[in-house]
Amino acid sequence: MSSVIFISSPINTFNTLSDSAGGVTGTAIRGELRVPGDKSISHRSVMLGAIAQGITEVSGFLQGEDNLATVDAFRAMGVDILQHSDTELTITGVGLHGLQAPRTTLDLGNSGTSIRLLSGLLAGQKFASVLTGDSSLQQRPMRRVTEPLAAMGAAIATADGGTPPLSIAASSGLRAIDYVMPVASAQVKSCLILAALYAEGVTRVTEPAPTRDHTERMLAGFGCPLGREGDTVVVDPRDIRLRACKVDVPADISSAAFFMVAASIVPGSDLLLRHVGVNPTRIGVINILKQMGADIEMGAVREIGGEPVADIRVRCAKLHGIDIPPEQVPLAIDEFPAIFIAAACAEGETVLTGAAELRVKESDRIQAMADGLIALGVDAVPTADGMVIRGGVRIGGGEVDSHGDHRIAMAFVMAGLVAEAPITIRDCGNVNTSFPDFITLARSAGVNVEAV
């Protein structure tokens, strides 16, 4: 994708509806879509398949740049990974202790998930490694993983400021710890779980609020169920032997979120999103949108490979502002750029607090979204740990900067559906990290978007 996306207000004289509240016109979002596979689950399928015994078959794999960075890293460590189609691959596992020392630095591009989870996995290896990434990744905080890993006995160093590159020395043995996470983070939790597979003794990781549990679910699928004591995950590495299995990656709810918001805000919309992962630790976006008045139904709920999946129907509804419940914040942390667009279209005030984590994502998502909304005429006030948005006004045209953040770029594409004039979004190349066919799929749903 090029570095600029140009969005014009979608005016179709054969299918244009008017919002009685604001006089906004937009082409209804209708039909059925299946967004690409879940990025988080795709990462983990490669990581666990690589250290399992046997051949793991993965379907629904996301061909995003972040996931391909994970694939390349394990290939560099001697793992045979074959791509059979855009969404299917096989991984010939080398076992828990079969990874080989990479000959070069492992470049993980823009992927925070890759570098944080791999730091845990590599902390217990008998070889040294160096992990780095692009300029954005090199700004992201890593002490949240390096400090507990050091407490486990890992020799791991960061650049000045606690950012990548990470230099990990050959391990002389890790020891178990009892760790209470200061901030809810699935990446930190997963990092420590993977390190605990190589530690002496039983590791306990306590989280202050529920976070996505894909690592725990997938480990169970590979024959390694973990213990649970309330808010604490318990890892006992004795007699661990991961066995290859089949992994069916559901559609990514984080990608589906943009289309949920689009269908909610454009009059006349009625959209069915197929085979979406609805893990209870990931459905904060559905819960929040419903509290705002969104018309969202989950049907055909089933479980595939340990992960709940559903077809999600979304119809346009009149949204209203809310105080976002604190317990929903960790369950929707990646979806807030889309939620902010919904808030801009909702009547009244929406208040988010307790989301300081958004400031250390691929960009400072609080400031980047506030700046973009303000540029489009929305009353948005950033705070230290959230935002206050007074919605219900007309969204104007203008230019916004995504700061190289894929979710910022895609969020403002959805704003373009109800904008009164064209919106130009700059620095959009990283959309390919999570949603390589975003432009094509958005057009198929009726979004008038061009890559320039």
Residues serving a catalytic function are 334
**How many residues make up the chain in this entry?**
452
Q: Please give the single-letter amino acid code of residue 23.
A: G
Alpha-carbon distance of 421 to 399, in angstroms, equals 11
Strand runs labelled E in 263-391:
270-277, 295-304, 307-315, 348-352, 379-383, 386-391
Q: How far is CA 368 from CA 15, 55, 66, 164, in A?
A: 33, 43, 21, 22
Q: Please give the single-letter amino acid code of residue 133.
A: G
Is there a contact between 358 and 364 (Cβ–Cβ < 8 Å)? yes
Q: Please give the single-letter amino acid code of residue 124.
A: G
Alpha-carbon distance of 424 to 439, in angstroms, equals 14
Q: Which residue has the tokens 């454009």?
A: 266
Alpha-carbon distance of 286 to 361, in angstroms, equals 21
Torsional sign, CA 155, 157, 162, 163:
negative
Torsional sign, CA 47, 53, 55, 56:
negative
Alpha-carbon distance of 438 to 383, in angstroms, equals 30
Q: Which residue has the tokens 């320039």?
A: 452
366: exposed, middle or buried (C-beta count within 10 Å: 0-12, 13-18, 19+)? Answer: buried
**Alpha carbon 235 to chain centroid, angstroms:** 25
Torsional sign, CA 336, 337, 342, 347:
positive
> Which distant-in-sequence residues (6+ apart) come within 8 Å of 20 by Cβ?
none
Which residue intervals of 208-333 are DSSP H helices? 214-221, 253-265, 284-291
Q: Judging by DSSP bridges, how do beta strands 270-277 and 307-315 pair with one another?
A: antiparallel
> What is the CB neighbour count within 10 angstroms for residue 82?
10
